[in-house]
Amino acid sequence: MKEFDEVRFPEDISYGATGGPEYFTNIICTTNGKEYRTLNGTNSKMRYNISYAVKTSLQMEKLVTFFRARRGRAVGFRLKDWCDYKAEMQLLGIGDGINKAFQLKKIYKSEESTYERIIYKPVISTVIIYVNNEEYTGGVEVNHQSGEIKFESTVGLGDKIFATFEFDLPVRFDIDHLPISIDEHNTYSSKNINLVEIRL
């Protein structure tokens, strides 16, 4: 059985999901109230709850079918995060006259602090490559499963490589049991249906 399906979770359900980035920080408090904080790892991990996004019998049927096809936590899949699924003019790197391959990424900047997020699952037909702020019309291959782009020809020394694109997240169910209840006629509910980002 494969570990990942290149299929997107139903958008009409993901649109109502709640969630966002999660970090893992150890905090030690001294007796005088001073805190010492240690961040475990440098990258966040996205986590979502889709329980309240299921509102109709058709959505519940979609969810059950999707859950069975992924075998619970066993198989990963794509998720569109409606709050953060676009990136515009992101600097991927600078040509060195040798390297042809670059990784898609998104940079989050707040004042002097920046956070670099690697993008592994670009959406097909959305990736536009620019070289020195001009759209690149030469040959370039986009790997939609890894987020790597590769030029057919070597990029010129000092050339700045940018990309605009949409992207999905690689996630999986964080449950192996899908609890469903029928509250009344044609009214369904399910609690604690969690999705968690997969590290690739």
Query: pLDDT tens for residues 40-92?
Result: 877 889 999 988 777 778 888 899 999 999 999 999 999 999 999 999 999 99
In the chain, % of residues over pLDDT 90: 70
Whole-number mean pLDDT of the chain? 91
Name the band, by pLDDT with cuts 50, 70 and 90, for residue 183.
Answer: low
Query: pLDDT tens for residues 170-182?
Result: 999 999 998 877 6
Torsion sign (Cα): 41, 144, 148, 135: negative
d(C-alpha 177, C-alpha 164), whole Å: 38
Please give the DSSP secondary-structure letter assigned to residue 191. Answer: -
Contact 168, 8 (CB under 8 A): yes
Name the band, by pLDDT with cuts 50, 70 and 90, for residue 185.
Answer: low
User: Alpha carbon of 45 to those of 107, 142, 182, 197: distances in Å?
Assistant: 16, 25, 33, 6
Mean pLDDT, rounded, for 127-144? 95
Provide the whole-model pTM.
0.89
